[in-house]
Amino acid sequence: MLVHLIRTKGVSDELYFGCYEFLNQFVGPYSFELSDKPREITIKDEIKIVEPGDPRYDIKEVISYSRPIHLPKQSTQERKSWRDLFRINNKYRKSKDIIETNESVSEDSMINDAPPLSYEPPIFSETPYVEELTNYYFSENTESYIVILLTEHANHENWFVGYDPNLKGNYFIHVDGWDHFTSGDPRYPICYHIASTLLKHAMFDNPTEMGNYMHYESKGCIMDFCQNKSEVMLKLRTADVCPDCQKIIRDKHIPHMQLRYTFEMMEDIRRQLLFKERYDLLRQPTPLMVKGRSQKIVLPEMGMLQIGLSPTERAVYLLFLNHPEGIRLAEMGDYKAELRGILNQVSPSDSREMIEGQLEKLCEYNSNSLSEKMSRIKRKFDEKLGAAMSEHYYIKGPNGGLKKIHLDRAFLSQEAN
């Protein structure tokens, strides 16, 4: 089945493409397709704007169900309705001919011809923020496509995952706030929700049926509702399905390939989370891989986690990987030819003049450019792995002395493709 992953503008390239790469590690029945560009949200609902200073301002937190965590607050206008979020999915569907506009009939006839709504979404407030798709009719193969919107926008219902009540196969996932609950890579909870959403898509015909089987008391099952975001971590750590939900899966005759895909991914996420939590006891690094012609820096046992180094930062890092004995910065000129070769490999589209200019800056005595690149490399490892674990990987050493990467080269591998 084809799954379109789309995003709003606040979802970074690193997160968006990182989720795509993680999902594609596992063999399953899904083919994922990325959008060519971030999608803009067009607000059509009448949302009351409350200005700072008004006593009603900041009534709700970004994640109001995470009471133990102090988070920044948003004004009412920054919360998007389900109507506006699913409008993005439907505009994308229209652009891909998944939903086709009927221009030969009037709007009234479109309303009459539209498929009737056979169910309503689970309602947790008096106002369901959903869109009636009166401007579209559906081609016969519409439901064979799934469109999942990744968005940084909080929504009026404060849900992590939204299910379109008008069209099975439309979903949104809220991607912000996970850094308050996981120590590192936000791809894990996001990809967990993508995988569990795809399984629920196969298990249930509509959101109402799904709502009837939700667990409102968390037990570490994919069907836990998790009103408090911190409760989601129980699901991620257990990667489990309770006996009652296992019976639903058997009764629905969910294909084995789909189950294997979902459970292999959830198990991998669980393992990664526990690995990071137990690092303080193990104090052992995870392997590092230099991957492909562009020499990307990847941690394969952490879900092919990529450290997003720029080409110049990557060239510096690869130079130090090549020299476990270390390099004195004052002697960088001795490594100029080697660094030139690495720069040519990782930056094939750059002109010779540009590469030579970068090379001169990196190799000049007491180069600020080199120190800046090393500092950025350290920061990027810290952001991905946390300060304690990242110390195995970044370049460090005393002032005026040998700078080196202390990773045991037994943990280093190279993959050509």
Strand order in the sheet with 170-174: 31-34, 2-7, 145-151, 170-174, 161-163
HSE-CB for 105 with a 13 A CA cutoff: 15
| Per-residue pLDDT at 88 | 92
Check pLDDT > 90 for residue 349.
Answer: no
Q: How far apart are the first and last CA of the chain?
A: 26
Average pLDDT on 82-99 reads 82
**Does residue 351 register a pLDDT over 90?**
no
CA 168 to chain centre: 22
Query: What's the pLDDT at 128?
Result: 38
Does the domain at 2-277 match CATH 3.40.390.10? Answer given as: yes
pLDDT at 130 over 70: no
pLDDT at 135 > cutoff 70: no
- Whole-angstrom distance, CA of residue 371 vs CA of residue 241: 49
Within 10 A of 228 (CB to CB), how many other CB atoms are there? Answer: 17
Residue 121's pLDDT is 39
Predicted local confidence at residue 58, as pLDDT:
40
Share the mean pLDDT of the chain.
76
Single-letter code of the amino acid located at 149:
L
Q: Which residue has the higher pLDDT, 135 or 324?
A: 324
pLDDT confidence tier of residue 127, bands split at 50, 70 and 90 = very low
| Dist CA 233 CA 238 (whole Å) | 9
- Asked if the model's pLDDT at residue 384 lies above 70, the reply is yes
Kindly tell me if the per-residue pLDDT of 274 is higher than 70: no
Separation between Cα atoms, residue 164 and residue 169, nearest integer Å: 8
pLDDT band at 107 (very low <50, low <70, confident <90, very high): very low
The per-residue pLDDT for 47 is 43
Sheet strands (E) in 161-304: 161-163, 170-174, 288-291, 296-299
Regarding predicted confidence, which is higher, 223 or 272?
223
What's the pLDDT tens digit per position in 232-264?
766 676 767 888 889 988 998 988 888 888 888
**111 pLDDT higher than 50:** no
Confidence of residue 285 (pLDDT cuts 50, 70, 90): confident
For 29-62, the pLDDT digits (tens) are 889 999 888 888 765 543 444 455 554 444 333 3
The pLDDT value recorded for residue 313 is: 94
The pLDDT of residue 322 is 95
% of the chain surpassing 70 pLDDT: 72
Mean of pLDDT values over 315-335: 94
Q: What is the rounded CA–CA span in Å between residue 53 and residue 73?
A: 14
Domain extents for the chain? 2-277, 288-415
8 Å CB contact between 413 and 287: yes
281: CB partners within 8 A, 6+ apart: none
Whether the pLDDT of residue 393 is over 90: the answer is yes
The DSSP 8-state label assigned to residue 320 in this structure reads: H
Question: Tell me, what's the pLDDT at 282?
Answer: 61
User: Quick check: 18 and 189 in contact, CB under 8 A?
Assistant: no
For the entire predicted model, the pTM comes to 0.59
Torsion of CA 137, 139, 142, 143, to 10 degrees: 90
pLDDT of residue 266 exceeding 90, the answer is: no
pLDDT of residue 5: 95
